[in-house]
Amino acid sequence: MSKIKAVIIDDEVNNCNYLSSLLNEYCPKISIEGTAHNASSGIQLINEIKPRLVFLDIKMPGGSGFDMLKAIPHRDFEVIFVTAFDQYAIKAIRFCAFDYLLKPINLLELQEAVARVSDKIMDAHNGINEKWQMLEANQKGEDKSIALPSQERVLFVKTKEITRCQGESNYTFVFLSNGEKVLVSRTLKDFEELLNDEGFIRVHQSHLVNKHHVKSFEKGDGGYLKMLNNDSVPVSRMRKENVLKTLSSK
């Protein structure tokens, strides 16, 4: 099997060298074809090499990694973002189901990210163009969308179309306003972190709801929410006060 052509774009030479050495030694599927240290040379490198995978630093002189990507019209490659902790940037990346690595790079996390991205590269229906479009739209402040990767596909939906989420161990069932139910390989805690600014409330250990889809709070059976689609969602005793307070201010 041929190796995956990759490039590294990072303004710090030492970071490029370190990541390259890790990939050469521990990720034999990856072939590093070049490095660049700013946005303009990064664009030139991508246009020349036409890689399948780009390791991209977010904060660079002369334009961020996001800015650099907007300047490339045909983004038919996967990206693993490499960044120091930046909550806003990481959330934007996670919304669109891109992979990222935090500096300093952890070897196991690198290998896991490379394995995931390698599978996506081999999948002709990986939804890469939709992910790029969604990343740009979300950054413009339009109706926020989120990628829901399941075993068969990657579904892209508006967050307002999600009525609720139900956790099942390391997986989550995502319920949509059209009646569809999607099983996603993400924990409920992941969804809580991603959707906490989008009107979602954790009402129970296993349940997260979109407050805009709640019809009423029913006092019977210990207390539960009745959704607009008539689904019933239990509310835990310890969360009840906060849930009612949040719903009353919606």
Which tokens belong to 213? 């889809």
Q: Is pLDDT at 86 greater than 90 in this prediction?
A: no
Give me the domains of the chain, ranges plus CATH numbers: 4-135 (3.40.50.2300), 146-248 (2.40.50.1020)
Nearest to 89 by CA among 112, 109, 69: 69
CA distance readout (Å), 136 to 17, 81, 92, 104, 132: 30, 15, 10, 27, 6
The percentage of the chain sitting over the pLDDT mark of 70, rounded to a whole number, equals: 97
Q: Is pLDDT at 60 greater than 60 in this prediction?
A: yes
pLDDT computed for residue 216 by the predictor: 96
pLDDT computed for residue 110 by the predictor: 97
What average pLDDT does this structure show over 37-65? 92
More confident residue, 242 or 86: 242
- pLDDT, one tens digit per residue, over 137-194 is 888 776 899 999 887 788 999 999 999 999 999 999 999 999 999 999 999 999 999 9
